[in-house]
Amino acid sequence: MLVLKSLDIDLTQSEKKTLLGFLSLYSFFTIVILFFISFLYFSFQKDLMLQKKRIMMQEYANDFVFRLKNLHINFDKYKYYPRDEKFNSAIYDSEGKLIFSTLESKDVDLDGVVYTSGSKIHFIEEPESYYLGAKYVVLEIPDDEQWLILLEKEITVFVIIAFFFMTLLGYFLLKLFLRPMKDALHLLDRFIKDTTHELNTPVSAIISNVEMIDITKLDEKLAKKIKRIDIGAKTISNIYEDLTFLTLDNKIISQNEYLDLSAITNQRVEYFRTLAEVKKLEIIANIEEKVTIFCDRKKMIKIIDNFLSNAIKYNKIKGKIIVNLRQSSLSIEDTGKGMTQEQIENLFQRYVRFDNSVGGFGIGLNIVSIIAKEYDFKIDVSSKLHEGTKMELKW
C-alpha cells in the first residue's frame, strides 16, 4: 500500500482487497516462473556435467571391456576379475541378472546410459559380444557434487536478482495501472471541492432566510411550500457538511473543548424535526441535563447529525425515533427496516449503501467511524430486520 500512499490514493476496503489479490497473483506467478526457469537451468547444467563424465567413463568402459574380453579368452589362465581403482564395475547377463559386482550402489538402471544415483555416477555399456556371458557392463565413479554446490549458488543468486527485478517491474506496472485512477480521483476531488465551495453560500442563505419566516402567519399552502424548501435546503446542507468533512475538515487539527452536549443534542433534534415531519415521525428525546464532553464541536455535531439523518431515512412512515442522552452515552433508535448481521459488519465502510431508494452517498457512517476512532469512542450497533436499529455512542 506504500505505492498508493505515495500517489495519494485512498481506496475502499474492497478495492484494497482486489489490489492485494492482484499483487498476490503477480507474486505467485513470478515465483512459479522463476522456479520453472531455475528447474530448466538445473536440468541443462546437470546434463552438461553428465556428458562430460560420459566421455571420461566411455574411455574407462573401453579399457574394461578389453580386459573383460582378455579374461573371457584366457579364463583358464587368469581367472581374476578385471578391477580398477578409478572406478567400480559390474556385469549383468541379458536378463538383467548380476554376474559379478564391485559396485557400492545396490540399485542399477540398465535402461539408462549415464545418470546419478545418490553420491554416485553410473555408466552403462553394452559390449559387442557377451564376454563371460555379460550383456551389460556398469561402471560407477563417486560424485563429489561440486557441480551441485556451484549450481545451487548460481541459482540462488539468479532467483534473488530476478525476484528483485520482477518486484521492481511490478512496482512500475502498478504505478502505470494506477495512474488513470489517480487522475480520475484528483478530478473528482477537485470537482467535489469546487462544488462544496459554491454550495455553501446559497444553501446557508436559503436556510437562514427560511428560519426568519414566521410560517404561523402564512396560509397553509404557502407554509407547506416553505417547509419543503426548508427540508430540501437542510438535506443539501447535510450532504455539504459530509463532503466538506471528507475533503477538508478531516485534515484539520481538531479544536477540542468542553461541550454542553445536552444543548447541542436538543438543537440538532430541533434541526431535524422538520425532516422527520415529512415521514410523520415522532421524535422522543430523553436528554439529561448538563452532559458535557471534551470534543471538537463540528465533529460531535457530525456524529449526531448522521445518526439522526439515518434514523429518518431508514424509518417507516409514522415511525418513532428515540433519542437517549446519558452522562456517558448517546443512543438514537429508530423503528425502521433494520439490518442483517452482514450489513452491520459492513456498516462503516465508505460508499456502502444498503437501500438505494433513499438518498446519500454512503459516506456518513464512515465519517462517524473516523471521528470515533480519533476520540476513542465506542459505537454499538444493534438491529433487527423489520423492527429497527439502535446506534449507541459511548465515551
At a CB cut-off of 8 Å and minimum separation 6, what does 206 contact?
229, 233
Give domain status of residue 49, yes or no.
Answer: yes
pLDDT band at 123 (very low <50, low <70, confident <90, very high): very high
- Looking at the DSSP bridge assignments, the partners of residue 217 are none
Q: Is 175 a member of any domain?
A: no
The vertex-96 CA angle with 93 and 102, nearest 5°, equals 75
Domain-ending residue, one of 144, 159, 182: 144
Q: Is the pLDDT of residue 356 over 80?
A: no
Distances (CA, A) of 328 to 153, 156, 256, 291, 348: 65, 61, 18, 8, 22
**Percentage with pLDDT > 90 across the chain:** 40
Residue 222 belongs to some domain of the structure:
no
140 and 259 assigned to the same domain: no
The answer to whether position 95 is within a domain reads yes
Query: 242 lies in a domain?
Result: no
For residue range 37-88, list pLDDT tens digits in order.
999 999 999 999 999 999 999 999 999 999 989 888 887 776 788 888 899 9
Q: State how far the Cα of 54 lies from the Cα of 6, in Å rounded to an integer.
A: 58
- Which of 128, 144, 160 is the endpoint of a domain? 144
Q: How many domains does the chain have?
A: 2
- Report the CATH number that the domain containing residue 261 is assigned in CATH: 3.30.565.10
Is 245 part of a structural domain of the chain?
Answer: no
What per-residue confidence (pLDDT) applies to 382?
92
Whether residue 259 is found in the same domain as residue 140: no
Q: Is the pLDDT score of 306 beyond 80?
A: yes
250 falls in which pLDDT band (50, 70, 90)?
A: low
**Domain finish residue from 96, 117, 144:** 144
Residue 238: inside a domain:
no
The closest of 338, 285, 333 to 307, measured between CA atoms, is 333
pLDDT band at 98 (very low <50, low <70, confident <90, very high): very high
**Which residues fall within 8 angstroms of residue 193, CB to CB, at 6 or more apart?**
247, 248
Higher pLDDT, 131 or 261: 261
Q: Is residue 32 part of a domain?
A: yes
The average pLDDT across 193-208 equals: 78
Domain of residue 76 covers 13-144
